[in-house]
Amino acid sequence: MTTLLTIALLIAAFLIGMNLWTRNLTREGQKRVPRLGNITPVNGGRIHYVEKGDPSKQTLVMIHGLTGQLQHFTYALVDMLADDYHVIAVDRPGCGYSTRDRADLGRLPEQARMIQEFLDSKDITDAILVGHSLGGAVSLAMALDHPEKIKALALLAPLTQVLASTPRVFKPLEIRTEWLRSLIGNTIAVPLAAKTAPHTLDIVFAPDPAPADFLDRAGGALGLRPSAFVTGSQDVVGIDDSITAQVARYGELSVPGSILYGTQDAILSPKAHGDPMTQFGLTTEWIDGAGHMILITAPDTCAAFIRRVAETPHAKPETVTETV
């Protein structure tokens, strides 16, 4: 009995210590990466966003990927495009300084609904969606559910297909039990993430080098919070629960656009996720030798790609009205 009590006390002490370490890292992360923009409430949470440029010009809406935040776009692309476009970069629901109320809101249709509700609150009805990675899948969900409000898609290394398995670097996020997510997120996940960050970034950016200022300028330090782990886990499960149904709907896709991939992307296969979308009207372009994080490593090429999509004449999908 004494032995069991001793073990229980040691485990409790360990978890308390990890929690205190996590809280300290969280404070440091928020200090290093303060909130940049405004927050708008939507059904199921709040959307944090940064807005630049003339609202009378074409609107570009930038949606980041898994375990990311809007700083992936403010790193370079927002300023590169804001002189000629109305640019809005959002934190996906639950990410960065956005929030979401429930785990099931990590499903693709729910994330799409929340971001579209935010755009509706700003009376934006002709957005060009610039989605990176998981943000590309969310952009496609928005185009499927609200084609009359989306003008075109400019997708950067997007997730478009069912994954045979979660990329290895994101495997630790495959947790379906909410209490376990919370326990891990508030104890060991953040200290482990802080220790393994250089190795993780090497994998995500490969074969390109990760920038030295990623944790600050690109907001990576915000990943050192329990909420980042919990949201990332919910996203991984949400993808698994909803991507098959989304892929089955691609025949309905009426919004035009294009996809840009690095040929050496180590996270999502360009051929597996880019090539199949040509049958649904999207064109594909490639950056020879580039990896997954092209929005940060090749911003000039990405900006030129987005401009080409924006400047291509696009007929807005017709809204079908049923008559009784």
Residue 24 is which amino acid? N
Neighbours of 42 (CB within 10 A): 20
Distance CA 127, CA 151 (A): 5
pLDDT tens digits, one per residue of 195-209:
888 999 999 999 999
pLDDT score for 324: 28
pLDDT score for 236: 97
Distance CA 280, CA 110 (A): 23
Find tokens 């499903």 and name the residue.
Answer: 107
Distance CA 260, CA 313 (A): 19
Residue 59 is which amino acid? T
Q: Which domains does the chain have, with CATH numbers?
A: 36-166+241-311 (3.40.50.1820)
Distance CA 34, CA 253 (A): 38
pLDDT score for 97: 96
pLDDT tens digits, one per residue of 154-177:
999 999 999 999 999 999 999 999
Residue ranges for the chain with pLDDT beneath 70: 1, 21, 314-324
Closest CA to 66 of 186, 177, 232, 228: 232
Torsion from C-alpha of 293, 295, 300, 305, nearest 10 degrees: 110
Distance CA 273, CA 205 (A): 18
Contact status, residue 92 vs residue 132, Cβ threshold 8 Å: no
pLDDT score for 2: 80
pLDDT score for 301: 98
- DSSP string for 95-129: STT-EESSGGGGSHHHHHHHHHHHHHHTT--SEEE
